[in-house]
Amino acid sequence: MKVTLRVWRQPGPDATGGMVPYEVDGVTPEMSFLEVLDTLNERLILAGDEPVAFDHDCREGICGACGVVINGRAHGPERTTACQLHMRAFADGDVIDVEPWRASAFPVVKDLVVDRSAFDRVIGAGGYITAPTGSAPDAHATPVPKPAAETAFEHAECIGCGACVAACPNGSAMLFTAAKVVHLNTLPQGAPERESRVLDMVGQMDAEGFGGCTNTGECAVACPKGIPLTAISSLNREFLRAARKSA
């Protein structure tokens, strides 16, 4: 296969960027999308050019480091991460546009690399259960009903890749924030901080400059882990509940 990648190149945070086309030959359907970028980079280095900078690490779809917008879709045409997207999803001769996540809360660092530290600060604001090491009671002290445990798990699967923000026309981080709030607020262990958690996380989310949710549902479509859109409804409910209680 031979494909043309049109890649967003931007030397630094304040530099202007633009799309640059590259033809990549010798692509096989078994290659992952990032391996095509690897192949391109090997060629660029030998040609004396700067390789394309992109975030990636585990390459098995769990660390959340990778993430590029491929043909206008976060992580590309399939519901997975860019590292787990294989070239069999494309055809010989395709022209593929590759862009970084776009959101004011995720400024571009270089090429396809963006700064997602805003997510860390949202978690730091309340996305935890205060349980200092050594203070825990026996694990069986509090049984957790299986459905609650399942709900918590399904929302805890979020990998923090930022695809939801990239896909949202408002650059909103509601799905990300909702996933953590639902995970922790569903568990009995999370109950003591239930109200402060949601208020502080939403506050931090707003302070980071993420947009609001207009319920377009784009985030849940882009999410490689299938965090459901109803999580946002649950977040809203938790927020209003906490707001009422704090009044």
Partner 1 sequence: MPPGLPTVAVMALTTKSASRTTAGKPAAGKPAAEPARPRRYPPSLPALLWHSTVGKKTVLAVSGLIMLAYLVAHLVGNLKIFFGAEEFNDYGHWLRTLGGPVLHYEWALWLIRVVLVAAVVLHGVTAYQLSRRDIAARPVAYVHKRRRTSYATRTMRWGGVILGLFVVWHILDLTTLTVNENAQSGHPYENTVATFSTWYGNVIYITAMLALGLHLRHGFWSAVQTLGAAGPARARALKAVTDTSALLLTCGFISIPVAVMTGVVN
Partner 2 sequence: MSPKTSPAYAHYTEGEPVADAAAPPGDIAERWDRRRFTARLVNPANRRRYTVIVVGTGLAGGAAGATLAEQGYRVVQFCYQDSPRRAHSIAAQGGINAAKNYRNDGDSVHRLFYDTVKGGDFRARESNVRRLAQVSVEIIDQCVAQGVPFAREYGGLLDTRSFGGVQVSRTFYARGQTGQQLLLGAYQALSRQIDAGNVEMHARTEMLDLVVIDGRARGIVARDLVTGRIETHLADAVVLATGGYGNVFHLSTNAKNSNATAVWRAHRRGAYFANPCFTQIHPTCIPRSGDHQSKLTLMSESLRNDGRIWVPRAHGDARPPNAIPEDERDYYLERLYPSFGNLVPRDIASRAAKNVCDEGRGVGPGGQGVYLDFADAVRRMGRAAVEERYGNLFEMYERITAEDPYEVPMRIYPAIHYTMGGLWVDYDLQTTVPGLFAVGEANFSDHGANRLGASALMQGLADGYFILPATLGDFLARHRPGQVSPDHPAVAEAVADTEDRLNLLLAVDGDRTPDSFHRELGQLLWDECGMARTEPGLRKALERIPALRDEFWRRIRVPGSGAELNQSLEKANRIADYLELAELMCLDALHRAESCGGHFRAESQTPDGEAARDDEHFSYAAAWEFTATGTAPVLHREDLEFEYVIPTQRSYQ
In the window 125-164, what residues touch partner 1 (CB under 8 A)?
Answer: 125
Span near partner 1 by CB under 8 A; candidates 55-63, 142-150, 155-163, 211-219: 211-219
- In 3D space, the residue among 226, 205, 224 whose CA is nearest the CA of residue 67 turns out to be 224
CB atoms inside a 10 Å sphere around CB 2:
11
Span near partner 1 by CB under 8 A; candidates 37-45, 49-57, 67-75, 138-146: 67-75
**Residue of 115, 207, 230, 240 interacting with partner 2 (CB under 8 A):** 115
Q: Per-residue x/- mask for partner 1, residues 9 to 38, rule CB under 8 A?
A: ----------x-------------------
Dihedral (CA of 142, 146, 64, 192) sign: negative
**Residue 207 sits in the site that holds partner 1 (CB under 8 A):** yes
**Residue 16 sits in the site that holds partner 2 (CB under 8 A):** no
Q: Per-residue x/- mask for partner 2, residues 74 to 113, rule CB under 8 A?
A: ------x---x-x-x--------------------xx--x
First to last CA, the chain: 62
> Residues 229-232: contacts with CB within 8 Å, 24+ apart?
229/175, 231/155, 231/175, 231/178, 231/179, 231/182, 232/174, 232/175, 232/178
**Residue holding tokens 């004396």?**
48
- In 3D space, the residue among 29, 119, 114, 22 whose CA is nearest the CA of residue 66 turns out to be 114
**Residue of 68, 82, 105, 182 interacting with partner 1 (CB under 8 A):** 105
Entry field: residues in the chain: 247
- Give me 180's structure tokens: 């953590």
Question: Which of residues 58 and 128 has its CB atom nearest to partner 1 in the complex?
Answer: 128
**Residue 207 sits in the site that holds partner 2 (CB under 8 A):** no
Phi, psi angles (nearest 5°) of residue 150: -65, -45
- Give me 237's structure tokens: 């409910």
Q: Per-residue x/- mask for partner 1, residues 169 to 188, rule CB under 8 A?
A: xxxx----------------
Span near partner 2 by CB under 8 A; candidates 31-39, 96-104, 207-215, 230-238: 31-39
- In 3D space, the residue among 207, 210, 212, 215 whose CA is nearest the CA of residue 231 turns out to be 215
**Residue 21 sits in the site that holds partner 2 (CB under 8 A):** no
- Residue 212 neighbours by CB under 8 Å, 6+ apart: 170, 172, 174
**Residue of 5, 8, 61, 83 interacting with partner 1 (CB under 8 A):** 8
**Residue of 2, 28, 214, 226 interacting with partner 1 (CB under 8 A):** 214
Q: Residues in the site for partner 1, rule: CB under 8 A? A: 6, 8, 19, 69, 71-73, 97, 99, 102-105, 117, 121, 124-125, 168-172, 196, 199-200, 202-207, 209-218, 228-230, 232-241, 243-244, 246-247
